[in-house]
Homo-oligomer: A and B are copies of this chain.
Amino acid sequence: MKAYAQCTKAELQAELQSVTKEFETLKAKGLKLDMSRGKPGKAQLDLVSDIFTVATKPEDFMDGSLDTRNYGELQGIPSARAYFAELLGCKPEETFVGGSASLNMMYDVISKAHTHGLLHSEKPWSQQGKVKFLCPSPGYDRHFKVTESFGMELITIPMTAEGPDMDAVEAAVKDPAVKGMWCVPKYSNPEGIIYSDAVIGRIAHLRPAAPDFVLMWDNAYCIHEFEGDFVSFAEIITLCREGGNPDMVFEFASTSKITLPGAGVAVMAASASNIAYMTKLLSIEVISYDKVNQMRHVRYLQNKAHTLELMKKHAAIMGPKFRTVVDALDAEIAPLGIAKWQRPKGGYFVSLDALPGTAKRTLALCKEAGVVMTGAGATFPYGVDPNDTNIRIAPSLPPVSELTSAIQVFCICLKLAALEKLLAA
């Protein structure tokens, strides 16, 4: 089939008839497939089973002279802080190793900014009138919702192939009500791009009007290549310091997609002053995080080199899934000229831009045919994609066999929605 834009109305109608037939056939299969969230698949979970037996005796839970089985060490056990410092390229004293959820740590930073203020806040954000937050989009719905939940105004910043549109960011931060920005700098969610050095440099050198502007740097996929070797990344804490913004950034990461989702270990990295400030606030809400799990992780993951070996095994599972998805799009959709996407080498998503006005309809059709996808609009502030065009595909959970069916359904639905749109025009 040629590009739909080159087709006559009669050709499009013939194609609609043919695609509708395919859709009905697939629908009749009663599929139940899920490409909605970035959940690792069972094979990945099975991969790390040794973590359950790597520490079993009381002495295995000694971190030097520290008994990780008792209360204390709110900032995390020394070996876990050293581990994450190596992974992120920062210093151990710039880390705070917490519980199992990095989202929880991000929430804590924003929540504390709201109720108590950050290190350089004149007063809590809740007492500063309207607060605005920059949301490079498409982006991660859970990020946007954290700031939305505190009544902040979400400002959409367009994404480019190199990261957030920095002209837009630099203009926006002149407004003192703009208090921060969400970023997923490596294998961005959902586009899977890596911010360029130029973009990161401009971010580190921002001159925000707000003295307490906070860069929420979610390095969720810092070592999550599924194609090719580990790609090193900019150490944002140092860059911000060199850019004259020593306390501007909080970086986040976790082992949720290294060991176990929701049962791993999360880390927050920031200037030592920021860590000290947040420690004081966090000491009110928790005596100490799960240090037994921290110790278990250090014993299992050991160091960066050893962890990268594990990531190769994840890649061997993830790579074929992403290839299944992107190859199908290349074969089925590319010739038709009805969508654009990237071919990421890491992360957990493929981002696709369908014909404007067809994303919701595509996903409604998918649902009808038994394939659950991330809701259309989810990648934009307030869940509203102004062009109704972006679709996030999450290929990690289903096995390849199911994924093959799922992406087949998706392609058919994409075509159907495009044809309906084109024929209605």
B284 touches A149 (CB 8 A): yes
Q: Within 8 Å of chain B (Cβ to Cβ): is A293?
A: yes
Q: Within 8 Å of chain B (Cβ to Cβ): is A241?
A: no
Q: How many copies does the complex hold?
A: 2
Residues of B within 8 A of A55 (CB): 52
Residues of B within 8 A of A290 (CB): 99-100, 262-263, 290, 293
B150 touches A115 (CB 8 A): yes
> What is the bound-complex CA distance between A40 and B69, given in angstroms?
10
List which A115-166 residues lie within 8 A (CB) of chain B.
Answer: 115-116, 126, 142, 145-146, 149-150
Interface bracket on A: 35 or more
Residues of B within 8 A of A126 (CB): 115, 126
Q: Within 8 Å of chain B (Cβ to Cβ): is A96?
A: no
Q: Of the candidates B104, B115, B289, which one forms a contact with A262 in the assembled complex, judged by CB atoms under 8 Å apart?
A: B289
B39 touches A70 (CB 8 A): yes
Could you list 23 A-B pairs, sorted by A, with CB under 8 Å? A39-B71, A45-B67, A45-B70, A46-B58, A49-B56, A49-B57, A52-B57, A53-B56, A71-B256, A72-B262, A99-B290, A100-B290, A101-B289, A103-B285, A103-B287, A104-B286, A107-B284, A111-B285, A115-B126, A142-B287, A262-B288, A263-B290, A263-B293
A289 touches B58 (CB 8 A): no
Produce 1/0 per residue, A330-352, CB < 8 A to B: 00000000000000000000000
Q: Of the candidates B100, B111, B284, which one forms a contact with A145 in the assembled complex, judged by CB atoms under 8 Å apart?
A: B284
With A284-B107, A284-B146, A284-B149 in contact, do A100 and B289 touch (Cβ < 8 Å)?
A: yes
Residue of B nearest to A45 (CB): B69
Q: Within 8 Å of chain B (Cβ to Cβ): is A375?
A: no
Residues of B within 8 A of A142 (CB): 284, 287
Interface residues of A (CB under 8 A from B): 37, 39-40, 42, 45-46, 49, 52-53, 55-58, 60, 67-72, 99-101, 103-104, 107-108, 111, 114-116, 126, 142, 145-146, 149-150, 256, 260-263, 281, 284-293
A115 touches B111 (CB 8 A): yes
A68 to chain B, nearest CB (A): 8
A87 to chain B, nearest CB (A): 20
A286 to chain B, nearest CB (A): 5
B284 touches A262 (CB 8 A): no
A56 touches B67 (CB 8 A): no
> What is the bound-complex CA distance between A42 and B289, given in angstroms?
19
Q: Of the candidates B40, B104, B261, B293, which one forms a contact with A293 in the assembled complex, judged by CB atoms under 8 Å apart?
A: B293
Residue of B nearest to A116 (CB): B149
Residues of B within 8 A of A104 (CB): 285-286
